[in-house]
């Protein structure tokens, strides 16, 4: 058996195949963009067939001609995105509904008005919001003839992206790991499998759902057709849980924030099921041999996608990296404040119908002020999360950050200034992929525990310490709260 790990990193905007050495060094990466489909305002879709085709192509190129060097495969993925396919044909029945999609807002409102949110939160740790997978499944059943027909024929399969890829890689295994399954609103945090009563409430047939399994262990084997040998799949983990593992947040209270398409903060809560009185989420962090570690989570829907919007839609910048240069070119944002509610507001507000706001514009406002305000919005949103975590008894003493946006030094320092705590960023910021590599390495037996794997595979980090004043902080927060009310 080889000693390298193949990680399939299934993001919102791209799919990547990455080869990791046992010391955590990334030896190779192959990437392909995923087409974003926006058929209506608030709707976001992917082509599941495209995801599979590009993932397979990237994996084959990354492996090259020597599959014997691969000890195991780890998969990490955009969570909550729902794929519907036919078990008999192995083909998608409809476009995948992406986690950002808002089309089930009305159904969520109906469930809230009927008084179901309290019980759903108590059992699953989640709130009633279109973000999660269960209402997306129900929408497909109600609105797509092919999906409904497959359900009636008993051939319908529902799953998140890792489940879809496992089905294709193995030639038919229908699995979902506990970290992804805990995002569906169909899995109790203390339940081994999906719950029939929750499925009935959502109107989702239990028979269409996958078997819930561990996040690391020998979970399945690829069909030898794809890579020339039956490589074991030993890690399956949702992207934000994977980043938490990759950041080494393996002890109670340790916290990370990932700034990618959205921004997601997770605090390790150990073996105790997390409860929130401030609209944060309880979720499964990882699972081995049926034993779970949990996390408290705050989810922000728009982070890096705001910068992408400034670049691709408004044309205010040419590259994402230009925001740091522009932010440094001015002393402040000139009172410009951006509330990036382009896909509604996530935690701790949970307002799916909220819309984005750019406030404080004047003739003195230009590209630099707007770019700086976009970066400042990351710290403002994170500050709101920090207040909610503290109110739930999980105050942060430090914050480990990662994801594509975290490479921006100006933003990392701004986070430290606004939060008034040390912010740590690893030199290797692709911790989502690294977390899947850690899970697969432990699952394949290269290391005994995640702690041992993290000690061997995580690299050095840089720390940013607070340098602002409370007066500056409060002035910014006052403007932020005023703009937030308008959103």
Alpha-carbon 50 to chain mean position: 20
Would residue 376 count as lying in a domain?
no
Would residue 314 count as lying in a domain?
no
DSSP 273: P
CATH, residue 73: 3.30.420.40
Would residue 180 count as lying in a domain?
yes
pTM for this entry? 0.88
Would residue 450 count as lying in a domain?
no
Closest CA to 376 of 305, 323, 429, 421: 323
Would residue 394 count as lying in a domain?
no
pLDDT tens-digit profile of 387-402? Answer: 999 999 889 999 999 9
User: What Cα–Cα distance (Å) separates residue 300 from each residue in 72, 99, 380, 385?
Assistant: 32, 12, 11, 9
User: Nearest 5°: CA angle at 152, between 150 and 157?
Assistant: 40
**Domain span holding position 50:** 4-239
* Rounded (to 5) percent helix, strand, coil in the chain: 40, 25, 35
- DSSP characters over 290-313: TEEEEEEEEEES-SHHHHHHHHHT
How big is the chain by its Cα radius of gyration, in Å?
A: 21
Alpha-carbon 267 to chain mean position: 14
Residues of the chain with pLDDT under 70: 1
Would residue 92 count as lying in a domain?
yes
The strand pair at 255-259 and 398-402 is best described as parallel
Tokens at 117, concatenated: 């949110």
Would residue 212 count as lying in a domain?
yes
What is the tally of structural domains in the chain? 1
Rounded to whole angstroms, the Cα distance separating 306 from 127 reads 24
Rounded to whole angstroms, the Cα distance separating 205 from 188 reads 16
Closest CA to 304 of 405, 402, 232: 405
pLDDT tens-digit profile of 227-261? Answer: 999 999 999 999 999 999 999 999 998 999 999 88
Would residue 114 count as lying in a domain?
yes
pLDDT tens-digit profile of 181-205? Answer: 999 999 999 999 999 999 999 999 9
């Amino acid at each position: 058996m080889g000693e390298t790990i193949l990680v399939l990193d299934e993001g919102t905007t791209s799919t990547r195949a990455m080869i990791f050495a046992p010391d955590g060094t990334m030896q190779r990466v192959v990437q392909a963009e995923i087409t974003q489909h926006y058929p209506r305002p608030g709707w976001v879709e992917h082509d599941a067939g495209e995801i599979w085709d590009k993932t397979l192509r990237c994996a084959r190129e990354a492996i090259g001609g020597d599959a014997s060097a691969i000890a195991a495969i780890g998969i990490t993925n955009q969570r909550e995105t729902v794929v519907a396919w036919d078990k008999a044909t192995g083909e998608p029945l409809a476009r995948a509904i992406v986690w950002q999609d808002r089309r089930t807002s009305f159904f969520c409102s109906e469930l809230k008005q009927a008084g179901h949110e309290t019980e759903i939160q108590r059992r699953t740790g989640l709130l009633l919001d279109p973000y999660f997978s269960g209402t997306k499944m129900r929408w497909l059943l109600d609105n797509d003839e092919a999906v409904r027909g497959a359900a009636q024929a008993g051939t319908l399969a529902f799953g998140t992206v890792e489940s879809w890829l496992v089905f294709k890689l193995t030639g038919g295994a229908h699995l979902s790991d506990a970290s992804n399954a805990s995002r569906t609103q169909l899995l109790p945090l203390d339940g081994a499998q999906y719950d029939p009563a929750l499925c009935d409430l959502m109107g989702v047939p239990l028979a269409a759902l996958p078997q819930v399994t561990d996040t690391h262990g020998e979970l399945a084997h690829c069909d030898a057709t794809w890579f020339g040998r039956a490589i074991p799949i030993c890690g399956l983990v949702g992207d934000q849980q994977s980043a938490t593992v990759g950041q080494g947040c393996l002890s109670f209270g340790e916290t990370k924030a990932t700034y990618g398409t959205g921004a997601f903060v997770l605090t390790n809560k150990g073996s105790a099921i997390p409860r929130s009185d401030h609209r944060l989420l309880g979720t499964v962090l990882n699972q081995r041999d049926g034993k779970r570690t949990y996390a408290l989570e705050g989810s922000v829907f728009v982070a890096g996608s705001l910068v992408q919007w400034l670049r691709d839609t408004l044309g205010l910048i040419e590259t994402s990296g230009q925001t740091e240069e522009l932010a440094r070119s001015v002393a402040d944002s000139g009172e410009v404040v951006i509330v990036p509610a382009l896909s509604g507001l996530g935690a701790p507000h949970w307002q799916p119908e909220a819309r984005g706001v750019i406030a404080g514009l004047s003739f003195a406002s230009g590209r630099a002020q707007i770019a700086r305000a976009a970066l400042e919005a990351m710290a403002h949103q994170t500050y709101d999360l920090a207040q909610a975590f503290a109110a739930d008894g999980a105050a942060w003493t430090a914050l480990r950050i990662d994801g594509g946006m975290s490479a921006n030094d100006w933003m990392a320092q701004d986070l430290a200034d606004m939060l008034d705590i040390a912010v740590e960023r690893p030199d290797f910021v692709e911790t989502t992929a690294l977390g899947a590599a850690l899970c697969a390495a432990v699952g394949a037996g290269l290391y005994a525990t995640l702690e041992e794997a993290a000690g061997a595979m995580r690299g050095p980090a840089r720390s940013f310490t607070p340098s602002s004043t409370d007066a500056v902080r409060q002035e910014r927060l006052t403007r932020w709260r005023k703009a937030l009310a308008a959103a």
